[in-house]
Amino acid sequence: MGYWTIDEHDDGVIVATYSNPPKNYFCADGVAEFAELIQDWNAPHIRVVVLTGSAAEGAFITHYSVEELLAAASDRDALRRSGTALNRGYYSTLQSLQDLPAATIAALNGDAMGGGLELALACDVRVAQNGDYRYGFPEVKLGITPGGSGTQRLTQMLGPSAAIDLMLRARLLRPGQAVAAGIVHEASDDALATAVTIAHDIAAAPPRAVAAIKRSVYGLSGAALSTGLQLEAANFLDTMLSDDAVAAMAAYVAVPVDKRRDWIERHLDDLKYSGT
């Protein structure tokens, strides 16, 4: 199955749409396909890449598949053997995306939480769509930590105080709140159309200048990000090996998919964990 649909414009703008019914969860196969596409986007004629989600699923990328995470956490011997391989693979993919000389834009035309928001944070520009959508990191409710660079990218973007508040309280932001917080750059009634307009504007600029700006902006933060990701991966593995994580993720995947966002938005004190 192909998860990504590619539309290439004459001026070097690429629109890549992710589709994984019914809720656009990211998954290992979808990430692997995405990693291959990034290599194709290193071509000189590619000026801007716009990432978006299938309108039919009503989400950008809701989050990474908790079913896959639960399966990994349920086999602890295998998880200990693999260690932080899952994290490192996703880190590499997102770093390759950020390292593209082409500009990247996330058109957040639906929910973007967990791994979906981490993907968006690795893009240069983020456009939210007005509507009943949520952005945030709810992982603490699943007994785990953001494990795809979220703790590091969000902290670099917002500072430790704002980032830890969002993650410890599992706060989910609506589009206007996400703009005010600084997670996304603007909100639009049609995120994809706005993102494509921005893409065409950037594509008209000299590509060497675009690439140089990206190198200058991200260059100084790269070493700190690399160090922080090692710590994040170790902490993610530690939480994945806990009883709480298995119990919480099992409770989540038992909820019908159309009720899961309601579960995520429950107050933390409604969820009882053992601390093991």
**Secondary structure class of 170 (helix, strand, coil):** coil
The 10s digit of each residue's pLDDT in 206-253 is 999 999 999 999 987 777 899 999 999 999 999 999 999 999 999 999
Residue 273 binned pLDDT confidence (cut-offs 50, 70, 90): low
- The answer to whether the CB of 215 falls within 8 A of the CB of 62 is no
Length of the chain: 276
The 10s digit of each residue's pLDDT in 47-63 is 999 999 998 888 999 99
Q: Angle at the Cα of 108 (from 151 to 164), degrees rounded to 5?
A: 20
DSSP 100-165: -SSEEEEEE-SEEETHHHHHHHTSSEEEEESSS--EE--GGGGTS---SSHHHHHHHHH-HHHHHH
Residue 268 binned pLDDT confidence (cut-offs 50, 70, 90): confident
Residue 275: is its pLDDT beyond 90?
no
Q: Report all structural domains of the chain as residue ranges with CATH numbers, in order of start.
A: 4-193+206-270 (3.90.226.10)
Q: What is the mean pLDDT of the chain?
A: 95
Give this prediction's pTM.
0.95
The 10s digit of each residue's pLDDT in 125-147 is 999 999 999 999 999 999 999 99
- pLDDT the model gives residue 21: 96
- The answer to whether the CB of 28 falls within 8 A of the CB of 90 is no
